[in-house]
């Protein structure tokens, strides 16, 4: 098994697609138990950046991916073995930030966040039906 420390940008790289297999449990994050601590972490990083400080990297937990066979010339597909809840939550948060930037007429920032949400998470059903 290969272990890497990756940034959010590397995880949501547009040259790969992440698939949540059907055996994954439904999304169950709760506001007080999960979303509030994540929001506070994001807020802390933002406040440090705005204040001119370099924030420390934040560990979101291990994510286990399995490389699936991909034909030559196609986008690499990785199946999510562990971390689907966190990846889904990050996609929701990044999409909300993207939409907020767009509504605030900050297209430069909206486009920057769009690249993290463009490929998105998919189920095998969407992959097999030819949708992307």
Which residues neighbour 125 within 8 Å (Cβ) at sequence distance 6 or greater?
A: 22
Where do the H-state alpha helices sit in the chain?
8-11, 36-50, 84-103, 107-117, 124-128
Average pLDDT estimate for 35-47: 87
Q: How far apart are CA 42 and CA 72, in angstroms?
A: 38
* pLDDT band with cut points at 50, 70 and 90 for residue 120: low
Q: What is the pLDDT of residue 132?
A: 41
What percent of the chain shows pLDDT beyond 70? 87
Using the predicted structure, report yes or no on whether residue 126 has a pLDDT greater than 60. no
DSSP 18: E
Order across the sheet with 64-67: list the strands: 64-67, 76-82, 16-19, 121-122
Note whether 76 and 13 are within 8 A (CB). no
Is residue 117 within 8 Å of residue 95, measured between CB atoms? yes
Strands 121-122 and 16-19, bridge-based pairing: parallel
Label residue 125 by pLDDT band (50, 70, 90): very low
- Overall pTM > 0.75: no
Helix 84-103 / helix 36-50 crossing angle, nearest 10 deg:
50
Q: What is the pLDDT of residue 128?
A: 44
Residue 122: its pLDDT value, please? 54
Q: What is the pLDDT confidence band of residue 127, given thresholds at 50, 70 and 90?
A: very low
Q: Do 61 and 83 contact (CB within 8 A), yes or no?
A: yes
Is the pLDDT reported for residue 129 higher than 50? no
Q: Per-residue pLDDT tens for 66-117?
A: 888 878 877 788 888 888 888 888 888 888 888 999 999 988 888 888 877 7
Show the CA angle centred on residue 121, arms to residues 41 and 57, nearest 5°: 25
């Amino acid at each position: 098994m290969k272990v890497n420390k990756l940034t959010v940008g590397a995880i949501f790289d547009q040259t790969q697609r992440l698939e949540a297999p059907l055996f994954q449990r439904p999304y169950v994050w709760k506001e007080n138990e999960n979303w509030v601590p994540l929001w506070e972490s994001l807020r802390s990083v933002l406040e440090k950046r705005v204040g001119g400080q370099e924030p420390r990297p934040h560990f979101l937990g291990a994510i286990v991916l399995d490389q699936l066979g991909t034909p030559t010339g196609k986008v690499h597909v990785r199946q999510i073995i562990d971390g689907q809840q966190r990846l889904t939550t990050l996609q929701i948060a990044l999409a909300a930030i993207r939409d907020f930037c767009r509504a605030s007429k900050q297209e430069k920032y909206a486009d920057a966040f769009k690249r993290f949400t463009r490929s998105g998470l998919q189920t095998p059903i969407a992959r097999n039906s030819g949708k992307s």
